[in-house]
Structure 1
């Protein structure tokens, strides 16, 4: 049985009168919380003028003033990044912008699990060539680094934090904490990726120093939005509001002629997932060098190395996944994987795949060294993993992240107690929610709208990009006579099962490249 998803019929009627848009399109928008004419315009026809004012970000004034001082006094600035694509692109974008402003700046991205998560002061103090650094800017990390910021300050190094992770307690004593998720933030959109926050901060810097608005700056610097686009997609943030603008405009700018060698090579890849897969195959420090170098020879050497390592990484990840399958434990409301032999860089990959396979929250743990273990955690809809970690916080060396993607490190002596607490918490808090979400499910297919396949409104093709917060639609076309020319274009591998001229009930969706039939059922003669 096919049923329309329910929407507020009064709002639907009002919007039909105000916009003239087809009912199926308006249903799609209402189901995603888009309820007025202006919101609809921004969703379907976003422009660079639709970004919120960057000045609304918390602590942006003190951060700009401190950077002004650093540039004026020729202080060395260290950007401390995070080794994922979001952290890499955030680091590259900020360094590139600061160099445009004539700052003396360089970057460092620690290897994943090399140190504790976030800033690690002993590395700053012990690296001889970093002597003279008086300002450290942490990107895509830092919100939970209280003692680390204090330690840096005691040695005369000030800190600016540009981040998007959840703040689980009071903020560090930094010059500025620019994070739309902190309590004092008045910023209208809290779901930016790390690179999204850096992008907005960079636009504020450019406006302060050069007087250029965001649309002028991004036209003059064609790599800015593509960097924000890559990091935003990789971090799986909701593709709504500003993230949607970044994705739409970034994809558009990626197709423009780029002068940086790395972008010339990356733009030849047809799919963004291909770009993300390549970047995941190499260390973060090298990936930054790839984007920042002006040497075509250096960029080509790194690019070829990424391609070569990508194949080896695929094999390693699949072997790690099979190992994880053999040692997993499924508890009420929680899947746990713990193994001495899992490569640490496979933990995120395994956690994501297990979440999809079992539709349960997942904790994947691997041993780093001696008595130290590290973990990646992934949550499902309506499940807040940070609450679980908060309850066991005294057992961890460090922890943090998002509600549905987080991690921690822990000494072996505390593992058994943590596992006990995690199992109890999951059974008490997660299991009832999971049961509620899966109970009383009827054999019903819910659709976003009913449309005639032969007269698809042009607005359907304005609905991508899709992702969290904007899932692909499911439309229903009942009693549809299938034309011969549709077979290969729409039915693809199922084309041989379709009889032209016969009538079918069709379920279909929209992809970046067009329409895709999801299922079809012949009508009874």
Structure 2
């Protein structure tokens, strides 16, 4: 697949003049992230918990929420938290239950649906369950926004509902008592990118501000809610929310809490995942911890992740963490099987569709808990929006992943006549088809929308690079400067660079299957060590990829440190290679 390198425009001398105390390479990185004023740079480098978080009462219904929770505490009402089965939903549901208990809500249950048998969000079975168990108040977490029918029934039964969510919201408020969703356009909250973990943290802040009004919360220490920031950080990174603005503050401080977490379950998970407390960052959340929490809901039931986060006995927590380790390994194997099968479909049909739609409607063959992961992998391979459809006991269910030019959830809205339900974000979605017989009709409908919105040029993979840089500028000082920009993630990607006309001094195939490449490179007599994960093929097949010692290449890379046996050396982590002919 062709990849186009796009190196950011170089900053002008007039811009440099305003920031003479900042090295121009670091200044280029700031400029690329739209940090062009001193106040923007200061807030980015040193996000302030007190100054850079918005008041929770900017949510127009937050006062209603606080008053309703206070009534539930005073009248000893039965409250049900109804969450979602992913890491964001699990973490935010657990955090909310802890908060409600702290504020005197004694009878508070947590219910997460089974992904395969119940599906996402509220359903008719949920309504019956709530009615049968005589709950007085329902609080949805990471779901509920699109469940207008179920909310209307609950309203007719005089059961109050508070919706706490962050998914794409309708134009009008759903039929519920309070609607806390930063994506709701008619709300007054100024930041729309909160994960549900962030939304629940705003709820906790609001309750904390009013704790003197709660008889059982007056003794809570100021700032007690900050201990929930470990869950908020996991939720925000796991749901791939942009780490800018308010999220940057929450995750920056959340990492501090995570690295000294009080939670027995998280300590056990960190140990079993072979991580080290004290150095955990967004990488460890996104690629190690969150996948294990997510695996519970993908392969069986998310309650296992809930039990881990709530466990106080370390021995039991270690057992649950090990179970999640094994479940995650199973999840990886199943995902790999689905990806291989889906790619066979794609290559066999030689599809030219702008949106790839692949399906296996034999129940259980493509578990719906992992089709989203498969869609992401396939989307990366072909640089196209992808929908992967499987079948569960609840119907023909799919997940989609997209590329920046195409809002896949907005496209689903135009295909609503074919869907039982749908929801999501611009780059990720979930949906259920009305019938397995309309997969082809759905494929045609969504591709008709894509043909109107995307050109062939939009399907060319673009690798955004921060700057061209010479080896002589890749110093320890510059590496240290880059570290001040953490936490990295969506919206603040780890900087990537380009170096051209680089000489290969030596290369070696490494890894169990020789799939990776270790190189020694030189540019103007300055040598650098490099690792290129997944690029072993360009050295093992010289007929297609003539690279050897003495070759000249262009490289796109991240700048990092390789640590082993107490040694530290600068290293280039190569993300793309172009071989000079």
Alpha-carbon shift at residue 388 of structure 1 (Å): 1.4
Would you say 1:294 and 2:312 are equivalent positions? yes
> Secondary structure of the equivalent of 2:325?
helix
Alpha-carbon shift at residue 4 of structure 1 (Å): 5.9
In terms of mean alpha carbon deviation, does 105-114 or 292-301 score higher? 292-301
Contact 1:12/1:27 (<8 A) preserved:
no
Match in the other structure for 1:285: 303
Which of 459, 463, 467 is the matching residue for 1:447? 467
Instruction: Tell me the TM-score normalised to structure 2 length.
Output: 0.78
Cα distance in 2 between the residues matched to 1:428 and 1:500: 46
More helix by share: 1
Alpha-carbon shift at residue 14 of structure 1 (Å): 5.7
Which of 314, 333, 336 is the matching residue for 1:318? 336
> Secondary structure of the equivalent of 1:280?
helix
Cα distance in 2 between the residues matched to 1:321 and 1:163: 30
Cα distance in 2 between the residues matched to 1:480 and 1:454: 17
Would you say 1:9 and 2:12 are equivalent positions? yes
Match in the other structure for 1:228: 232
> Secondary structure of the equivalent of 1:156?
coil
Match in the other structure for 1:255: 259
Instruction: Tell me the TM-score normalised to structure 1 length.
Output: 0.85
Cα distance in 2 between the residues matched to 1:448 and 1:29: 15
Contact 1:162/1:194 (<8 A) preserved:
yes
Match in the other structure for 1:462: 484
RMSD (CA atoms) = 3.3
Q: CA distance change for structure 1 residues 264 and 4 in 2, over 3 Å: closer, same or farther? A: closer
Cα distance in 1 between the residues matched to 2:231 and 2:321: 17
Which of 348, 352, 361 is the matching residue for 2:376? 352
> Secondary structure of the equivalent of 1:177?
strand
Match in the other structure for 2:572: 517
Match in the other structure for 1:134: 136
Contact 2:409/2:424 (<8 A) preserved:
yes
Q: CA distance change for structure 1 residues 496 and 163 in 2, over 3 Å: closer, same or farther? A: closer
Cα distance in 2 between the residues matched to 1:497 and 1:479: 14
Match in the other structure for 2:65: 63
Contact 1:351/1:364 (<8 A) preserved:
yes
Alpha-carbon shift at residue 173 of structure 1 (Å): 1.2
> Secondary structure of the equivalent of 1:48?
coil
Which of 369, 375, 378 is the matching residue for 2:401? 378
Q: Which runs of 5+ in 2 are unaligned?
A: 276-283, 504-515, 529-554, 563-568
Match in the other structure for 1:72: 74
Alpha-carbon shift at residue 324 of structure 1 (Å): 1.8
Alpha-carbon shift at residue 2 of structure 1 (Å): 10
Cα distance in 2 between the residues matched to 1:73 and 1:448: 64
Match in the other structure for 2:37: 36
Contact 1:135/1:157 (<8 A) preserved:
yes
Contact 1:99/1:105 (<8 A) preserved:
yes
Match in the other structure for 2:493: 471
> Secondary structure of the equivalent of 2:295?
coil
Aligned pairs (5 A) from 1:398-437? 398-412=421-435, 413-430=437-454, 432=455, 434-436=456-458
In terms of mean alpha carbon deviation, does 79-88 or 55-64 score higher? 55-64
Cα distance in 1 between the residues matched to 2:429 and 2:331: 23
Match in the other structure for 1:178: 180
